[in-house]
Amino acid sequence: MATTADAEPVSETAADPTEAKVGDLVERTAASIRSWIITGKARPGERLSEKAVAETLAVSRNTLREAFRVLTHENLLVRRPHAGVMVAVPTLASILDIYRVRRMIEGQALRGALPGHPATDIMSQAVETAERARDEKDWRTAGTANMEFHRGIVALCDSEHLDRLYATVSAELRLAFGLLANPEYLHAPYVARNARILEMTLAGESAAAAAELDDYLVQSERTVAAAYSRRASHEQA
């Protein structure tokens, strides 16, 4: 957000009705900024001025500060005392941590999966969307469907806590993707693997599905970490 010209005030009709319950301005404001971050509209390391953002979103400074506080606790923003907030700059350590968490949670989820679990519907639909998007070379949609697939895996646990943890971890990962050159191709080739994991899960072969997933995550981590290491140099305070 170098310039403020291309941003809209916080919308009344929230984009994601599942997250932002209408009537909570702070939460809607946080959702707006969150979407700036995960779509790359606000880049890592970029400083967000209270006055500028408040004017852009047409909210008061107090309201904005509450939203900042929330996003800071989600590790999407970093506060420096008396120096404002900036978009978090992912480190290699944070990326490795994210994948460690994913392997633990998603692996356990698949190992304990029951074939008839309602969350398999989320997974099925995500695979379907991803395959269609891939055929149309719509990598953005394919990427979103990919993350939705893994959200479905976590949902197999039936745990609100794990769902929430995964949501924040997922947002952090998308922030990290923003550092990469062309993130689309990163998860594009994995559409087929997701389909196989789904098949195995529906067939009740949970151990095989978990093994396949673990291999997927190891490979994905390696790809992302490598891309991170060879990215253009950048510095952080």
The residue from 1, 20, 26, 110 that contacts DNA (CB under 7 A) is 26
How many residues make contact with a copy of itself (CB under 8 A)? Answer: 25
Which partner, DNA, a copy of itself, none, binds residue 231 by CB below 5 to 8 Å per kind? none
Q: What type of residue sits at position 200?
A: M
What is the nearest approach in angstroms of a copy of itself to the Cβ of residue 127? 25
Closer residue to a copy of itself, CB minimum distance, 6 or 81: 81
Q: In sequence order, which residues have a C-beta less than 8 Å from that of residue 187 and are 6 or more positions away?
A: 142, 143, 146, 220
Q: Could you give the 3-state DSSP secondary structure of residue 48?
A: strand
What is the nearest approach in angstroms of a copy of itself to the Cβ of residue 56? 21
In the shown chain, the binding pattern of residues 130 to 169 toward a copy of itself, with x for contact by CB under 8 A and - for none, equals: ---------------------------x-xxxx--x---x
What is the nearest approach in angstroms of a copy of itself to the Cβ of residue 195? 26
Which partner, DNA, a copy of itself, none, binds residue 105 by CB below 5 to 8 Å per kind? a copy of itself
Q: What whole-number distance in Å separates Cα of residue 69 and Cα of residue 30?
A: 9
Q: What whole-number distance in Å separates Cα of residue 78 and Cα of residue 58?
A: 22
Task: Examine residue 50 and tell whether it contacts a copy of itself (CB under 8 A).
Answer: no
Q: In sequence order, which residues have a C-beta less than 8 Å from that of residue 144 and are 6 or more positions away?
A: none
The separation between the first and the last C-alpha atoms of the chain, rounded to the nearest angstrom, is 20
Task: Examine residue 15 and tell whether it contacts DNA (CB under 7 A).
Answer: no
Q: In sequence order, which residues have a C-beta less than 8 Å from that of residue 197 and are 6 or more positions away?
A: 110, 153, 209, 212, 213, 216
What is the nearest approach in angstroms of DNA to the Cβ of residue 58? 6
Sign of CA dihedral 130, 135, 136, 139: positive
In 104-192, which ranges are E strands? none
Which partner, a copy of itself, DNA, none, binds residue 225 by CB below 5 to 8 Å per kind? none
Task: Examine residue 100 and tell whether it contacts a copy of itself (CB under 8 A).
Answer: yes
**Segment near DNA (CB under 7 A); pick from 47-55, 107-115, 216-224, 225-233:** 47-55
Q: What whole-number distance in Å separates Cα of residue 74 and Cα of residue 52?
A: 22
Closer residue to DNA, CB minimum distance, 39 or 236: 236
Q: What whole-number distance in Å separates Cα of residue 236 and Cα of residue 13?
A: 36
Q: In sequence order, which residues have a C-beta less than 8 Å from that of residue 188 and are 6 or more positions away?
A: 134, 139, 142, 143
Query: Which residue ranges make up the site for a copy of itself (CB under 8 A)?
Result: 23-24, 26, 62, 65-66, 69-70, 73, 81, 94, 97-98, 100-101, 104-105, 108, 157, 159-162, 165, 169
Residues that bind DNA (CB under 7 A): 23-26, 48-51, 58-63, 65, 79-85, 237
